[in-house]
Amino acid sequence: MTIAEFQRLIADIYGERDAARGLHKTFAWFIEEVGELARSLLDDDEQARLEEFGDVLAWLTTTATLTGVDLEQAAGRYASGCPKCGDTPCSCPGDREAVS
């Protein structure tokens, strides 16, 4: 499944509900799911991690859709390597500077 197909699927499944909930409440759900993912990373439960990564991806997708962001286009920012230095692997100094 492509990113675009996944975004359409999530919109088909949850789009009406997400639109009714609104952006701010949907984003809050996304943040809650990120917290659940963080907790699952501390546990030795592979199935829980798999589920939490899926939930985070779905809520991220919903948030993008509500704001009109095409995730496939957003992911394209990385198509030629690091968006800052252009290298693969990234050759930027430091840990977080590469994706600023």
Provide the 3-class DSSP secondary structure of residue 76.
helix
Dump pLDDT digits (tens) for 27-68: 999 999 999 999 999 998 999 999 999 999 999 999 999 999
Sign of CA dihedral 65, 71, 73, 74: positive
Q: What is the pLDDT of residues 10-34, one digit of tens each?
A: 999 999 999 999 999 999 999 999 9
Question: How is the chain split into domains, by residue range?
Answer: 3-99
Q: How far apart are CA 8 and CA 10, in angstroms?
A: 6
The pTM of the full predicted model, rounded to 2 decimals, is 0.88
Q: Which CATH superfamily is domain 3-99 in?
A: MazG-like (1.10.287.1080)
